[in-house]
Structure formats: C-alpha cells, structure tokens
Amino acid sequence: MFLGHYALALAAKRVAPRTSLGVLFAAAQLPDLLWPLFLILGWERIGPGTHGFLAVTFTYYPWSHSLLMVVVWSLVAALIYFAITRNRTGCVVVALLGVSHWVLDYVTHLPDLPLYPGGPLVGLGLWKAMTATVLIEGVMWLVGIAMYVRATRSTGRAGTYGFWILLVILTAIYASSIMSPPPSDLRAVGWMALTGWLAPVWAAWADSHRKMIPISTWQ
C-alpha cells in the first residue's frame, strides 16, 4: 500500500492537531523509510517480479517490515517524538501510525511479511486484485484528504499550492506504479526509494503554512 498510509496520516491530523503533518507522514511510512537504507546496506533483499504492485518481489526484509520490528521502530519513533515535544497525544498517534503500516501491508502484500525475523510469512494478497486495491486505496486517499482539508485552513500560498502539489505528485507516483514493469536494475531501487524521505519534509513545510480551525466549524 502507498496512498493508504498517507491517507491515515492526513486523517490523524484531527486527532493530533499539534503534530506536524510531516511527522505524521514519516510515522505512517516509517518501515518504507527504513527499508531503502537497509536495502542499500545489504541487510535486506528484493528480487524481480512481474508488473504493477508485484513488480518487485520482497524476498527478505525482516528488519524493516516484520511485525515485531515495526512495533519496535514505532515505539522508538514515538519516544523520540515525546522527548522532543512532550506531546502525549502526538506520541501515541505516532506509535499507532507506525504499526498501522504493517496492518495495511498485511492486507495488500502476498505472504512475504514476517511476524518476526526468521518467523512465518503472512499477507492476504490484495495486490493480486488490482481493481480492488486501487478502489480501496483510492477511497482511503480521498477520505484522508477531505478530513485534513476540513480540519485545516491555509495561511498563504505555500499552504494551498504546496499542499495540493504534493498530493498531485503522490497520486501521480501511485498511478505510474500500477502498471510498472520490473525494475531494470534492482541495485538502484534502494537509492530511488530514498526519495520517499522528501514527502515528510514537503508535508511539514506545507502544514506549517496551514492552521487548525475550530471543531465547531468543521464541515
């Protein structure tokens, strides 16, 4: 899943209004932010797939995507966030968003997600049904955007154009991945995936130019 993770982060802004959208984006995508680093270091491996959502085979990624390690990384991220901000609500939301990544991946992935390093592999395989995947993820994306937009208001052009351009780019990346062939160079995948770190940075910048509006005015 891709847009679905970001959708939960957008929706979570209502629950954690003091937490930057950039932090929420990073929390929701935490395993996918760690994965390219571990791939480049040789700690995890991938193989060629077929096309679209299955263009890459996730052959070995227990340190970034096993349930146990996702929980560990999520708790570490939440504790670091709390140490910096003392925001208890934000701390809990960061932890939950991190774990939600594994839950959504469990629904979409083939049985390639380990419960713990060296443990059994699980996954419901929604990716095999491309239409259903796009429909479910698309609805989540639209709902997440709507919840964020109704709860915040732009304070300038950066908060308007910066935010919407980011959404357009993420949507375009998702659309292009639907029918993507297997990568020609597996070694380059990790380096390309590092660009995922730009999304939280961009989201933090756009969110800093928006403000929460009173709950009574949410529509």
What tens digit of pLDDT does each residue of 129-168 get? 999 999 999 999 999 999 999 999 999 999 999 999 999 9
Q: What pLDDT does residue 215 have?
A: 64
- pLDDT over 90 percentage in the chain: 86
Grade residue 50 by pLDDT with cuts at 50, 70 and 90.
confident
φ, ψ for residue 104 (rounded to 5)? -65, -40
Give the other-Cβ count within 10 Å of 197's Cβ.
Answer: 15
Which residues fall within 8 angstroms of residue 217, CB to CB, at 6 or more apart?
A: none
Average pLDDT, rounded, for the chain: 94
Alpha carbons 113 and 102: distance in angstroms, whole number: 8
- The answer to whether residues 23 and 204 touch, using CB atoms and an 8 Å cutoff, is yes
Kindly calculate the radius of gyration of the chain based on its CA atoms and give it in whole angstroms. 17
